Homo-oligomer: A and B are copies of this chain.
């Protein structure tokens, strides 16, 4: 069965899979601002909409658009602002 994850009162949801990429989720964020924590390295790729991201140790927010990827190391926190509902793929390494 395909697992459905929910975060932030259902304003972020994701579907989990495992394949040649390893552990993967695809998910949707409503418009809003979110802070996430990592337990593994995460390769986050925007697939629809856009995400403006504050990466660990950075002071400037940076915007990522479809097929652009940012990487967050394990044990870090990062911020995401979405001006519109947006979708992503996350690969966990």
A residues with a Cβ closer than 8 A to B are 1-2, 4, 10-21, 24, 26-28, 30, 45, 47-49, 67, 84-87, 89, 91
Give A88 Cβ to nearest chain B Cβ, in Å.
8
Query: Roughly how many angstroms separate A11 CA and B15 CA in the complex, as a whole number?
Result: 12
Query: Roughly how many angstroms separate A87 CA and B90 CA in the complex, as a whole number?
Result: 11
Query: Roughly how many angstroms separate A23 CA and B47 CA in the complex, as a whole number?
Result: 13
Q: Check if B26 sits within 8 Å of A2, measured CB to CB.
A: no
Contacts of A24 in B (CB 8 A): 48, 87
In the complex formed, the residue of B with least CB distance to A11 is: B2
Contacts of A48 in B (CB 8 A): 17, 19, 21, 24, 26, 89, 91
